[in-house]
Amino acid sequence: MTPDELGGEIEYLRTRRHHVGFGEVRRHLPRALPRRVERQVAVIILYDNPFSPFTRKVRMVLFWKNLAFESIDGLALSTLDALGAANPRREVPVLVDGDARVVNSADIVAYLDHRYGSPLALPAEPLRRIEARAWERLADGVVDAILHDVSIWTWPTHHRMDAPPPGLLEAGRRDLQTLFGTLEHGLGEGDFLCGDVSIADIALFPHLQSLKVLGLAPEPSTCPRVCAWVERMRALPFVRRDLDVVRRGVAEKFRGREASPYESERIVWRGDRLEWLFVNGFHDWWAGELGAGRAIVPRSL
């Protein structure tokens, strides 16, 4: 997609915003920006979604850096074609910044650090950076896989009438307990995982914050450091802004509406989400989902 084509697509989406009613396009401006210069701000375009942990990670980094950006809910049915033009896999997030188009949340965060500088999500000190990236990979890989795979039956978009396969929730609970122990040890006596706030904390927070809804949250009696860290993260201004986006998304897209703006039958499966499912013995269940047309795998080209 050329810059002119992208600009036309964004303008089309802007004009449709008030007719569709789901708030697919929203502009986020830096805090304390004088009203008279709002129109002069060069806006980054972010294809995101209010609820995706990967887009929440990028959104928090943008808020933290106080960058202006315009978000497009790329997973809404009305904007899927625009997302597909930006990323053939139709996955969020995708960031468009002038001539740069960046796919994959980790690559987007690295780009934002390199392009816009402080505050740095990736620590400048090499060993700390390695440590932070390891935590980010853990969040993006196995933690996301567990939360995705065990939560399907709670999604407001998919009203499943069946039950999880026997043993699935127990496998998730078991591996989450291992994760909590790893986090307790990693936090030690510090406030955050890598000294100061970093991508390690930002990548993990959306997952840990969602566990309460699933009844899988860590207990203060056994994981006091993790529970204190969650509350510490909640108190950060850029995290509060992201939580506001999530709450607004719930109100706009689900409350008082008969139909969801998202896909309501099929589920996209990929990478770690399949790996965790298969290693725990649920390949036959997934084959049934594929045969029934409820499971799809994205194309890269």
Question: What's the pLDDT tens digit per position in 37-51?
Answer: 444 455 899 999 999
Give the integer Cα–Cα distance in Å for 227 and 224: 5
Give the integer Cα–Cα distance in Å for 227 and 180: 10
pLDDT tier for residue 25 given thresholds of 50, 70 and 90: confident
Residue of 202, 292, 268 whose CA lies nearest to 239: 202
pLDDT at 215 (0 to 100)? 94
Output the CA–CA distances (angstroms, integers) from residue 179 to 38, 141, 168, 291, in the order listed.
43, 12, 17, 33
Give the integer Cα–Cα distance in Å for 94 and 107: 10
**Which string of DSSP letters, residue by residue, matches 124-153?**
SSHHHHHHHHHHHHHIIIIIHHHHHHHHGG
Q: What is the arithmetic mean of pLDDT over 133-161?
A: 97
Task: Spell out the residues 6+ positions from residue 226 whose beta carbon is closer than 8 angstroms to its own.
Answer: 180, 183, 184, 187, 208, 218
User: How high is the mean pLDDT of the chain?
Assistant: 90
| Structure token digits, residue 296 | 């799809």
Task: Spell out the residues 6+ positions from residue 218 whose beta carbon is closer than 8 angstroms to its own.
Answer: 180, 208, 211, 226, 227
For residue 12, pLDDT over 70 is answered with no
Domains of the chain: 3-116 (3.40.30.10), 126-253 (1.20.1050.10)
Q: Which residue has the higher pLDDT, 271 or 11?
A: 271
Percent pLDDT > 70 in the chain is 89
pLDDT at 27 (0 to 100)? 84
Output the CA–CA distances (angstroms, integers) from residue 152 to 106, 146, 211, 265, in the order listed.
24, 11, 13, 11
| Structure token digits, residue 292 | 């029934």
pTM of structure = 0.89
Give the integer Cα–Cα distance in Å for 95 and 71: 9
Is-contact 183 229, C-beta < 8 A?
yes
For residue 4, pLDDT over 70 is answered with no
Question: What's the pLDDT tens digit per position in 83-139?
Answer: 999 999 999 999 999 999 999 999 999 999 999 999 999 999 999 999 999 999 999
Number of H helices, E strands in the chain: 12, 7
For residue 183, pLDDT over 60 is answered with yes
pLDDT tier for residue 16 given thresholds of 50, 70 and 90: very low
Residue of 104, 116, 144 whose CA lies nearest to 274: 144
Question: What's the pLDDT tens digit per position in 186-237?
Answer: 999 999 999 999 999 999 999 999 999 999 999 999 999 999 999 999 999 9
For residue 15, pLDDT over 50 is answered with no
Strands 69-73 vs 100-103: parallel, antiparallel or unpaired: unpaired
Give the integer Cα–Cα distance in Å for 150 and 160: 13
Name which of 33-37, 48-52, 149-153 the model is least confident about: 33-37
